[in-house]
């Protein structure tokens, strides 16, 4: 059995309960690529079976998301930019390109933090990027809490209700596919915006 297989996550959630949900999601939102979405779905599914309590699952998921994103924010604020520059050199990205990414994130930080929770990669990197882009902490915290509650409520409720008629494995697959679709749309939109900016810059020159 793989450590993070669906069966393993169900076993962990049944054994350690809400700690599995809260700590797992906290680590994912702090920047560690764990399957936080699947962990939340498992919690909601077990609540639907009466093995866990719905509101405690929701609170664990939201609380873990808030704490994890806060950790990610401060990691980004205190040392994220030098780390990003080093990673950029590995992928042959110039510093001015990374500066542009940072500025684009700063302009869309509110949407990225609130709505980005529904997209796996953004859920992992939004907190550190908010710190790197020097987003004011009170503003970040408000968006963080709002996004965490919206995401945790959606995922927990989805598994709690839909999981009664749809197998958990199928629900996890559908949710993952939807997240990938959102990511594809986001990438295409970002590319279109970048290309438009390039054309406008060429016209001005």
Residue 1 lies in a domain: no
Q: Which residues of 61-76 are buried (b: 16+ CB within 10 A; e: fewer)?
A: bbbbbbbbbbbbbbbb
Angle between helix axes 18-29 and 120-132 (nearest 10 degrees) is 60
Domain count, the chain: 1
* Residue whose tokens read 């529904």: 118
Considering only CA atoms, which of 65, 70, 64 is closest in space to residue 128? 70
Residue 147 lies in a domain: yes
* Full residue range of the structural domain in which residue 14 is found: 6-204
Q: What is the pLDDT along the chain (205 residues), one digit of tens a residue?
A: 344 677 778 888 888 889 989 998 888 877 677 777 888 888 889 998 889 999 999 999 999 999 988 988 998 888 777 776 676 666 676 777 667 777 777 887 888 888 888 877 777 788 888 888 888 999 999 999 999 999 999 889 988 888 777 877 777 777 776 666 666 665 665 556 556 655 655 565 5
Give the whole-angstrom CA distance, residue 15 versus residue 46.
12
Residue 101 lies in a domain: yes
pTM here is 0.76
* Continuous H helices in the chain: 6-16, 18-29, 36-48, 54-75, 81-90, 95-107, 109-114, 120-132, 137-162, 168-204
């Amino acid at each position: 059995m793989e450590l993070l297989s669906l069966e393993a996550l169900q076993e962990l959630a049944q054994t350690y309960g809400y700690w599995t949900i809260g700590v797992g999601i906290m680590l994912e939102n702090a920047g560690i690529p764990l399957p936080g979405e699947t962990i939340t779905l498992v919690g909601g599914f077990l609540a639907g079976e009466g093995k866990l309590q719905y509101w405690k699952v929701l609170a664990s998921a939201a609380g873990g998301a808030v704490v994890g994103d806060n950790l990610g924010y401060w990691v980004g604020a205190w040392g994220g930019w030098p780390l990003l520059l080093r990673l950029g050199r590995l992928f042959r990205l110039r510093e001015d390109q990374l500066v542009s990414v940072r500025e684009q994130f700063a302009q869309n930080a509110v949407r990225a933090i609130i709505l980005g929770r529904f997209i796996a990669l953004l859920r992992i990197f939004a907190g550190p990027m908010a710190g790197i882009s020097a987003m004011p902490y009170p503003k970040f915290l408000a968006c963080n809490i709002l996004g965490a509650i919206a995401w945790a409520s959606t995922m927990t409720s989805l598994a709690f209700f839909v999981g009664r008629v749809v197998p958990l494995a199928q629900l996890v697959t559908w949710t993952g596919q939807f997240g990938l679709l959102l990511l594809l749309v986001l990438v295409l939109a970002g590319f279109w915006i970048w290309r438009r900016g390039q054309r406008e810059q060429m016209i001005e020159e």
